[in-house]
């Protein structure tokens, strides 16, 4: 009898699983992507005025360099297009007062 009870007790102790649920759930979002490199655990569950978390900013710095390079390229393209526009305006100013006469000759007209 004691053996059966002890087997039942051992089965009950090792076979029982409890469901653990969090007390509170927080969703934290960030505007940047990166690896978390520092967390201030002393500020946990408190209001803090100092830095609580630091994120590696390598991706942002890389993107910034790429955008600066694109900006330089677009400025060069803009300068090139402005010089083309100046040349075309100068050409237009030369030829805008040019007049030409067109003579239309139709078939069957008699020339005198």
The answer on pLDDT for 83 being more than 60 is yes
What single-letter DSSP state applies at residue 46? S
- For residues 51 and 40, the answer to whether their CB atoms sit within 8 Å is yes
Residue 80: which pLDDT band, with cuts at 50, 70 and 90?
very high
What single-letter DSSP state applies at residue 96? T
pTM over 0.75: no
The answer on pLDDT for 102 being more than 90 is no
Instruction: Provide the CB-side half-sphere exposure for 51 (13 A, CA).
Output: 7
The answer on pLDDT for 11 being more than 70 is no
Max mean pLDDT range (24-28, 47-51, 84-88): 84-88
53 CB contacts (<8 Å, ≥6 apart)?
36, 38, 39, 40
What single-letter DSSP state applies at residue 38? E
- 3 state DSSP class of 37: strand
């Amino acid at each position: 009898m004691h053996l059966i009870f002890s087997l039942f007790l051992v089965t009950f102790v090792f076979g029982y699983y409890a469901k653990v649920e969090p007390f509170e759930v927080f969703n934290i979002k960030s505007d940047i992507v990166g690896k978390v490199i520092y967390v201030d655990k002393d500020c946990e569950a408190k209001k803090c005025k100092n830095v609580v978390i630091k994120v590696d900013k390598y991706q942002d710095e890389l993107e910034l360099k790429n955008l600066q390079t694109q900006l330089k390229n677009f400025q060069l393209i803009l300068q090139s297009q402005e010089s083309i526009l100046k040349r075309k305006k100068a050409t237009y100013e030369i030829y805008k007062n040019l007049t030409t006469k067109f003579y239309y000759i139709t078939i069957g007209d008699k020339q005198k």
